[in-house]
Structure 1
Amino acid sequence: MKCKRILSLITAAALCFSLAACGGAASTASSVASSSETATSEAAPEATPAAEDAASPETAADGLRVAGLKGPTTMGLVNLMESDAGANYNFTMYGAADEIVPLLVKGELDAAAVPANLAATLYQKTSGAVEVACVNTLGVLYILENGDTIQSVADLKGQTIVTTGKGTTPEYVLRYVLSQNGLDPDSDVTIEYCSESTEVLSKVQAGEATIAMLPQPFVTSALSQVEGLRVALDMNDEWQKVAGSQLVTGVLVVRKDAVEADPEAFEEFLNGYAASVEAANTDLEGTAALCESYGIVAKAALAQKALPECNIVFERGEQMKTDLVNYFQVLYDADPASVGGAMPADDFYYGV
């Protein structure tokens, strides 16, 4: 790992995803992952304290200042971070989105890989000073079952689903998919909410629940810990069936003034990002090792198993806009506050 390329790699034991421990991860990791990195401002997740000696973005050398969260939305960046070109940028890792928001608002960061609806919220919060450059992660939510009853969404009728994210994007996604399949989320199913993904996993392990909705990489960890547990439904697939577009988890948001300062340099960064995403999907072993090195996931073995299911992409242009507009509309209809109170205008979409 080229440590000089990371200004402040914030390590926290609470963010460790363990394949062996029944407890899985601690509360901070759970609050990030259980919202599948999609809740508004990470649903105000528990912040991870930075190391006292960590450099702050305002002390960075020249170069695009890019922030990432510990989770799927940043897995696609690690190959760029490790490359020779990565020396041209200042990458900073954070444990929670609420650490990134004020820095972007104040202009102390230029870009960040964040939950998609947080990008929409930032657009409203900054009066249009930010835009979305690309989609970097599609859906990471899955319905798991300890059994073989659930083969379709219709099979969830009369069942209890244990999950996280009440009042945040996971709830909106689940309710939308259920309702579009003719099920009333309030009467045809029972949705039991837990505060974090480890609590969900504990209920499944104890036999208190047989059906759960979890995000990656918790899904991979859960499958290794509970005998008979299987993926029953991929919520990305189910969303696409009813919405006609892809379910979006994460994006890269950038300040417009940073792009305008050097448009060619930003395009060069995006080209490097695209190559990094391609490497993340083709060199699983190498990418997994980097995910561990940079503290995004504690164990490379877990990252290597989870990467193919994390739906890491590099999507820009009209396809990016189509997927995001459809996604935001569902969230807005459920709760306008989830996208900052209003749908983003056309100038939110970079290059469209």
Structure 2
Amino acid sequence: MNKSESGETKGSYNITVSAAPDDVTAKIISGEIDIAAVPTNLAAVLYNKTEGGVSVLAVNTLGVLYVLENGDSVNSISDLSGKTIYSSGQGAVPEYVLNYMLEKNGVTDAAIEYMSEHEEVAAALADGTAQIAMLPEPFVTAAMMKNPDLRIALNVTDEWSKVSDSELAMGCIIVRNDFLKEHEGAVQTFLSEYKDSIEFVNNNITDASKLVEKYGIMATAQAAEKSIPNCNIVFVDGSEMENMLNGLYDVLYAANPKAVGGTVPAKEFYYESK
């Protein structure tokens, strides 16, 4: 974002940050935006909803979910029995992952209270409204900085690996195929610069944290610096991406076909850079 703003990128980008996946969905379908970072299951839903009108370019985020607790009663998924869990991400990966793990651990009596945005859940944890919640980074760090009594009770990625052989890929980059057909060179330029950006963030955490604050992604550079190492930011494309997402989609489809929009995406969904 910083280099784009200062004219240092090969591509020309108009970047918008949105906290609501529904907003991104509408804009991809309408053609208002060309490339988007979305939850991995939403990418599959959009593929089906647009009848093959989008392709996935790369996985950009692996497991970033954690269960936080104000207390010490939760040390396993089974311990969530009879508890109320606050969460965001209804209709996206977090909902289906949580439901799948509860089911596989025989937990049938947990109550899940969904809030529309991650910030709301973090605030509920910080002010004591919620005693237990599932959140992604960087919101885990933000909540814990506001309420020192909170602790990470469960690493969801670890718990997922106990019940599934698939990789917990959380986020990805998609492109409208109409745009891809007309501007494939621009898409490849974007992918190259996007990969460089990810490498910069992972290798220059302090400098990247200042930019995270500058662009309002997190309130402070201090919070960003603490959270980035746990954000699992990656760039995975090609056949590795296809194998990773296929495995995840198979699990999600078996649990609830609605999670991926009714069917697992076909091979054409996966972009192979030329």
Shorter-chain TM range is: 0.7 to 0.9
Work out which of the residue numbers 174, 177, 187 in structure 2 matches 1:253: 174
Q: Decide which of 78, 83, 93 is 2:16's aligned counterpart.
A: 93
Deviation of the 1:323 alpha carbon: 2.3
- Alignment length (residue pairs): 271
Look up the match of 1:51: none
Does residue 1:212 correspond to 2:136, yes or no? no
Question: Would you say 1:122 and 2:46 are equivalent positions?
Answer: yes
Residue identity opposite 2:45 in structure 1: T
Provide the secondary structure at the position in 1 that maps to 2:9.
Answer: helix
Q: One-letter code of the match for 1:151?
A: N
Q: Partner of 2:226 in structure 1?
A: 305
Structure 2 residue aligned with 1:183, among 106, 119, 122? 106
**1:203 and 1:120 mapped to 2: Cα distance?**
31
Residue deviations 1:167-216 (CA, integer Å, cap 9, x gap): 54322211212233x323x23xx223042555545654565653321222
Alignment match, 1:281: 202
CA distance, structure 1, for counterparts of residue 212 and residue 127 of structure 2: 31
Do the aligned residues in 2 keep the contact of 1:79 with 1:276 (CA within 8 Å)?
Answer: no
* 1:115 Cα deviation after fit: 1.8
Partner of residue 148 from structure 1, selected from 52, 72, 81? 72
CA-CA distance at 1:83 after TM superposition: 7.4
Contact 2:42 / 2:92 at 8 angstroms: preserved in 1? no
Task: Tell whether the 8 Å contact from 1:80 to 1:272 is kept in structure 2 after alignment.
Answer: no
Is residue 134 of structure 2 the alignment partner of residue 134 of structure 1? no
Find the residue that maps to 1:344 and give its secondary structure: coil
Partner deviation per Cα, 1:46-105 (whole Å, 9 max, x = no partner): xxxxxxxxxxxxxxxxxxxxxxxxxxxxxxxx4664675525222321423333334433
Residue 345 of structure 1 corresponds to 266
Closer, same or farther: CA 85–121 of 1 in aligned 2, 3 Å: farther
Q: 107, 113, 136: which one pairs with 1:193? A: 113
1:79–1:280 CA contact under 8 A, matched in 2? no
Q: Relative to structure 1, is the Cα distance of residues 218 and 346 closer, same or farther in structure 2, using a 3 angstrom cutoff? A: same
Amino acid at match of 2:161: Q
On the 8 A contact 1:137/1:249 being kept in 2, the answer is yes
Amino acid at match of 1:111: I
Matches within 5 A, 1:1-352: 78=1, 81=4, 85-86=8-9, 88-95=11-18, 96-166=20-90, 168-180=92-104, 182-184=105-107, 186-187=108-109, 190-196=110-116, 197=118, 200-201=121-122, 204-205=125-126, 209-351=130-272
TM-score (norm 2): 0.84
Residue type at the aligned position of 2:72: D
Structure 1: which 5+ residue stretches go unaligned? Answer: 1-77
Q: Unmatched 5+ residue regions in structure 2? A: none
Mapped partners of 1:198, 1:90: distance in 2? 27
Contact 1:139–1:247 (8 Å) recurs in 2: yes
